[in-house]
Structure formats: structure tokens, C-alpha cells
Amino acid sequence: MATDALRAQVAAKWQESFTRLNQNEPGIVGLLNFSQAWNIARECIRPRGLDEPDPLTEYDKSTFQASFELLNKCRRLPILLETFLDDMRKRLPVIKEEVDQYTLEYERTSDTSFILNLVFRLLQWYNKWMPRSELGATLQSAFVLSFQTHIFSILTPTFVRGFKELCASTLPPSDPSTSAPEPNIKMWEAFETLGLLDRYENIIASVGYEHIEAHVVSNFAGQWSTSVLGELRKWMTNQVVPWMLLMYGRNATTTDDARAMLQNVGSRFDFHMAKTLCDLRTKEIFDIIIDFPESTGALQDLKECLHRVDQRANLVHTLRKANHKRLLHPGADTRLILTQYVATIKCLRVIDPPGVLLFKVADPIRRYLRERPDTIRCIISNLTGDDDSGDPLVDDSEPIQPLHQTELEEYNDPNWEPEPVDAGPDFRANKPSDIVSTLVSIYDSKDLFVKELQVLLAQRLLSVTDDDSEKVEKERRSIEILKIRFGEAALQACEVMLKDMSDSKRIDGHVQSQNETVLHPTIISKHFWPMLEATEIVMPGQFRTLQEEYAKRYSTFKPDKQLRWLPHLGTVHLELQLEDRTIETNVPPLEAAFIELFSQQNVWTMDKLIDQVGSSVDKAAALKALLTWVDLGVLKEEGNNTFSLLEVADAAGTTPREPRAVANSAMELPSAPSVQQQQAEQMKVYWKFIEGMLTNLGSLPVDRIQNMLKLAPGYDQTVEQLGIFMEAARLEGLVVVRDGIWKLTPK
């Protein structure tokens, strides 16, 4: 089918090739020469077995050169190269067999020396097959590339494992007492020649990383008292860098060279060291905070590490999680949470002065604290130093400052700095303020604090008995301190309360001077004291007489004022004269009232007793009061809620029974309703408003109600709280809701 043209073309090609190979020799002499030269050249670069002799022993050097030159002239060298590589490929199974053998041995014994031997064996093959350098760089580099490619394809994952282990065995031991193993320079050279260093760079690096990790964790976990970063860097210089030099700096002749070579890898290792330490400290952060201030060193480290590695988000995340798990649960004491919160503030201020981290971590704690009913009480009692349990939250060294108000940003400030980049949208650049301001700012307003403070103060002042002016003085002192923080105006009521105390003393002195009486009342100004629980006991018998006489004298002294007794607060010192014995004791007024009644009649039922002192006394309280007397052996329970007086001590009754609640009940603080109860009281007022607006304006959505309630003085509930309240009102059947519109239940 071939056309003439094609035929002619093939003939021309053939002629051309022939001429090239024949080298213009007559006949086919040139062709024969070429054939010989090809055979010699091929034979001498043929990949041989390790025990075969070197080609130089068979042919002399000039013959080679002549053959290669001839081949070169005929432009057949590329073909020769391909043939060579092909030959090599054919011999590879031999190597593979050996590799398999060695790795198998390693797998069996886990002895890295097999891997080492394998590497050396490979090196032998490599050197054996390496074409002579006279043959040109092209041939050599082609060989290296091809050889390495084939080797890598043969090496199994087992080898990689062994290789890693081998590298690890060259590391300096973390125990400084044993000396480092002798550096095996030959081995590293073999690695390099075979291209293993480049190929397994990651593995070698991971060996280094793991070494660093192990060192950091085993030596520095739980060591928070001092900064360890410097020590760690020194360790790196002394131990890890020499090791790195083996790999990365072998070719360096001068130290400058070495430094340049290590720059890149060194900074990677340093980064890894910082990251490891940072991870470790992040994991320990909760306990570090607990240990503060003994853990300052660790915090310094963490600060520096965070500069180097960007793990801030991780730190926040870890700490929040730890807080959630270990701190913010019902089992933790409020005091404890506060202490930890304060420690957190201090610690994170060390790590991150601008306070972004703190803001992110503190948020859940603050939210949680806001929900705890006793937070305010805890803070206040701590502020006034009235806490027996543990250290005060606030150092005495910290200067007492007025509370900071959140200020608007001052852009004219020449030292103004923008917010840090990772600050959230509602991050407030809170200027470094003192701990107390931070604690108080948990709540939106400090009014709550002031109110709670009043309640606490009231409780404590009322528990002061006469001649105990030292206590009052102590309260005065703590109020003075708090005044600096909260401002004069806020604590005005407290001031009045304290003044009431001293005034009472004065008035009492005056009344006593006219007509001595055993009654020493504390006269308080109703408006300035928190609401006191009003159980109205009507004191019977002599007590009432005493009260009335005192009141009369008081009103002559201060005609414009009137005494309203709160007889349930206070204590009574009694001396009971019974037929066979006298009992002297301090009791609360209810107890005194009951025993007074027993002086009129010897047997009472509890209900009758309660009727006598005014029916506002609940049964539990009455029973407790009666049992106090039973414990003292004055009364005897006859069963059926009937009690009788023991004029003559009961034989059984006088056996000293542990006086149960006497000590306690006398010491118990008079109760003033907490802020929460007062809030419930407040809500009743707001209900009137809601009722009023719903009566007159028909039906309203909750938003409108919320807005309208602003008309009510002091209304500070959120719309959510209002919603809850409305829902409660609905359950009581006061209102109905339809499509979010509330109205009064039709009559």
C-alpha cells in the first residue's frame, strides 16, 4: 500500500541514519565499530551485583573513553542512558528482596540496627551502580534520581517506622546525667546520599517535636512557681541544637554558615517549643489560677508564649470550658466562685493587659453570679471584712478608690489606643480598674449593692446589745470605707442608721436618768432602715407595762414622735424565781412573753398562748420558744400541745439536757427580708400599675406595658422579667393573653 513517496522518504531516513552510524567509513566498518563501542559502554555502566568486579578490571580506561566518544559522536548517548536505566530496573528485585529481608528482621526484633544496616547496604548498592564521573553529570544525576525513586517505591511503612525510631535513638537523652550518644556521622551522610533526609524531613522534624513535647511535659507540668521559658531555651541550645546540626548543618564550615542554615528550622523548633509550653499551660490554666499568686511564673511564660503562638482563642475556650465544668455549678460555693473570679481577673491581667481575654472569659462567670441569690451578700460581707472564711477578696494593699463609672472613650487622649483586634463587638475597653469596681459592675447598678448593704447593716446593728459600742464603731468604720467606694450620697441611709444607734443611746440615757427602767430600746427611723419583718407580738404582762411607760416618757421627751415597738427583735434577760430554784437566762422576746404568761397560770395550750401574744406568731416559732423552756427544765410538755410550769424541778427534767437552741436562738441575727423578698414586694406595687393601665386602656402588648411601667417609680425590671411576671399573673387567673395582647380577666 505504500506509495512511492513514502518509500522514498523511508529510504532517505534509513540512509541518513546509516551515514551517521557509519561515520563515513567505507562499507559497514563504521557500523561495526559503533556496535563494538556500544557493547563496551553498556557493559561498563551496567548495574552489577555487589560481588561482581569493577568494570575497570576488565577494560582499560582509554577503551571506555574511545567508546563513549564514538557513541557521543553518533548522538546515541541518550539511548545508552535509557538502556542503563532499564537495566537497573531489571536488577531492582534483588535490592527489594534485601530490603524486605531487613525490614522483616526489624519487624521481628524491633532492633533499629537492622534499619541502620539496611541503609548502609543500600548505600553500597548506590555506590556500586553509580556511573563514573567521567561520564558526565547528566548521567549521574539521572541515575541518582532514578535510584532514589526506585528505593522509595520499595521502602515499606515498616521501614519508615524504624527510620523514625532510629532517628529518635540519636537524640540526646532528656536526663542530663547520661551523656548524649556518640553522633554517628556516617549514618547521617548515608541518609543524605540516599536522599532520605529530604524525603523524610517531616518525620525527622516530628522526632524533634516529640522530643521537645516529652521534655516539656515531663519536666514542667505543674511547675508554676518560676518562669521556665528561659531554662527551656537553654536546654534547646545545649541539647537540641547540636542534634539539629547533625542533620541540617553538616556542610557548614563556619558558625555563621551554621546559623544561617539553622535559622529556618531553628525558628520552627522554637515555635514548637513555645506552642508545647503554651498548650501545657493552657490545659493547666484553671489550676494555675487557683494557685495564684504562687503561679506567677507560669503566667509570665504563658504571656510570652502567646506572643509567639496565636493560641488566645484556644486559651479562652479552654478556660471557659474548665470554668463551666469546675466552677459554675450548684456545688460550688458563691464565695469560692468569687474568689476564683478575682483570681482570674488578676491572672488574665498578667497575661493580657488590655483585658480582651478577661472580657471573654469573665462573661459567663458574671452571668452566672448574677443569677446567684447570695452574690451581693457575699461581696458586701467580704468588702466590710465581715467574713470569717478565708482571705478577703481584695488585698489590703490595693488602694481604696471610688467606683469607676464606665466612661465614654476619650479620643483626644494622646495615648489613645485602638481596641485589640480580637476584641468582640461589645468589648468595653475597661480601663484597669480595681477589683471592687469589677465585682460591683456584675450588676447593672450599684443600688442593689447599697440596698443589700443596708439589710446587712441593719441585721448587724440590731444584733448589737447594749454596752457593745465597739461593734457599732466597727460598723461605722466599714461604712466609712465603703463610702469612699460608693460615694457619700449612696450610703446616706446607712449613715442615718448608724446615727440612730448613737441617738438611741443618748435618748435612752436621758429617759433612764429620769426614771430608771430595765428596758433599753434601739430607736430607728423607719424611712431609712430596710423593711423589717413585721411579726407583731403583743408583749404580755409586765413587758407591756414597761413598754408603755417607756413610750410615755419618750413622747414627753420628743413630743412630735411616736414609738412603734418591734418587740420581736432584741433579747430579754430574765431571772425566774421558782419555788425551789432561780434561773437566769437570756432569751428572745417570744420566749419571755410565753414565760410571762405562765406566771399567770400554770398550764397553757399552745394555741391559747399564741392568742395571747397576737395571732401573727406562727406555730413553728411558738413551739421552738416553748421547747427552749422545756430544755431549761422550766416547762414540761404534757402532750397534746399542752405545757405546764414546773414550780418544783422535775426529777427527770433537771437531768441536764443539752440546752438545744438557747444559745443559737439568742445569737441569731434578727431577720430583715433580703433584697429578693423586697423585690417581690415591689412587684406587688407594679401589679397595681398594670391593673390600672389594663383597666383604662383595655388590652396591651407586653412592650407597651413595659413602657408604661416606666411611669412607676423605681421600675427596673426587664421585659423578660415582666413577661415572667405576667405569666405568673395569668396562672393566678388575673389576666388573659391572646396573640401577645394582655388584658384583665373579664369579671
Partner 1 sequence: MEQITSSLAPPRAPASNKSSQASSSQSGAGSVAKRLGNELMTLMMSSSPGISAFPKSDSNLFDWVGTIEGAPGTVYAGLSFRISIHFPPNYPYVAPTIKFETPCYHPNVDIASGTICLDILQDKWSAVYSVQTILISLQSLLGEPYNASPLNSDAATTWKDQEAQVMRYYRPISEST
Q: 466 has which bridge partners?
A: none
Set of cell numbers at residue 666: 439568742
Q: Are 649 and 581 in contact (CB under 8 A)?
A: yes
Residues contributing to the site for partner 1 (CB under 8 A): 527, 685, 688-689, 691-693, 695-699, 707-708, 710-713
Which amino acid makes up residue 632? Answer: L
| Minimum distance of partner 1 from residue 746's CB (angstroms) | 9
d(CA 456, CA 70): 111
| Minimum distance of partner 1 from residue 567's CB (angstroms) | 28
What lies within 8 Å, CB to CB, of 485 at 6+ separation is 383, 400, 401, 402, 403, 436, 437, 440
| Minimum distance of partner 1 from residue 694's CB (angstroms) | 9
| Minimum distance of partner 1 from residue 695's CB (angstroms) | 5
Taking the least distance from each CB to partner 1, the nearer of 424 and 698 is 698
Q: 701 has which bridge partners?
A: 741
| Minimum distance of partner 1 from residue 696's CB (angstroms) | 4
Taking the least distance from each CB to partner 1, the nearer of 534 and 685 is 685
Residue written as grid cell 451578700? 377
d(CA 464, CA 472): 7
Taking the least distance from each CB to partner 1, the nearer of 373 and 692 is 692
d(CA 540, CA 222): 68
CA count, 13 A, side-chain hemisphere, 623: 6
Taking the least distance from each CB to partner 1, the nearer of 424 and 701 is 701
Q: Rounded to the nearest 10 degrees, how much is the dihedral formed by the CA atoms of 146, 148, 149, 154?
A: 130
Element (H, E) at 531: none
CA proximity to 569, closest of 453, 668, 678:
668
Angle in degrees, CA 396, 401, 407, rounded to 5: 140
Taking the least distance from each CB to partner 1, the nearer of 282 and 706 is 706
Residue written as grid cell 577503551? 63
DSSP 416: -
| Minimum distance of partner 1 from residue 504's CB (angstroms) | 20
Taking the least distance from each CB to partner 1, the nearer of 608 and 710 is 710
Q: Are 63 and 40 in contact (CB under 8 A)?
A: yes
| Minimum distance of partner 1 from residue 704's CB (angstroms) | 8
Taking the least distance from each CB to partner 1, the nearer of 90 and 688 is 688
d(CA 552, CA 549): 5
Set of cell numbers at residue 54: 569493577
CA proximity to 204, closest of 187, 220, 219:
187
Question: By CB neighbour count within 10 A (0-12 exposed, 13-18 middle, 19+ buried), where does 545 fall?
Answer: exposed
d(CA 147, CA 385): 81
Q: Are 464 and 667 in contact (CB under 8 A)?
A: no
Longest CA pairwise span in the chain (Å): 161
Taking the least distance from each CB to partner 1, the nearer of 348 and 693 is 693
Taking the least distance from each CB to partner 1, the nearer of 495 and 536 is 495
SS (H, E, C) 447-476: HHHHHHHHHHHHHHHHCCCCCCHHHHHHHH
What are the backbone angles phi and psi of residue 126, rounded to the nearest 5°?
Answer: -60, -50
d(CA 391, CA 599): 50
Q: 152 has which bridge partners?
A: none
Taking the least distance from each CB to partner 1, the nearer of 190 and 693 is 693
| Minimum distance of partner 1 from residue 703's CB (angstroms) | 11
Taking the least distance from each CB to partner 1, the nearer of 390 and 692 is 692
Taking the least distance from each CB to partner 1, the nearer of 160 and 709 is 709
Taking the least distance from each CB to partner 1, the nearer of 666 and 708 is 708
CA proximity to 676, closest of 451, 384, 382:
451
Taking the least distance from each CB to partner 1, the nearer of 219 and 707 is 707
What lies within 8 Å, CB to CB, of 514 at 6+ separation is 553
| Minimum distance of partner 1 from residue 685's CB (angstroms) | 7
| Minimum distance of partner 1 from residue 743's CB (angstroms) | 9
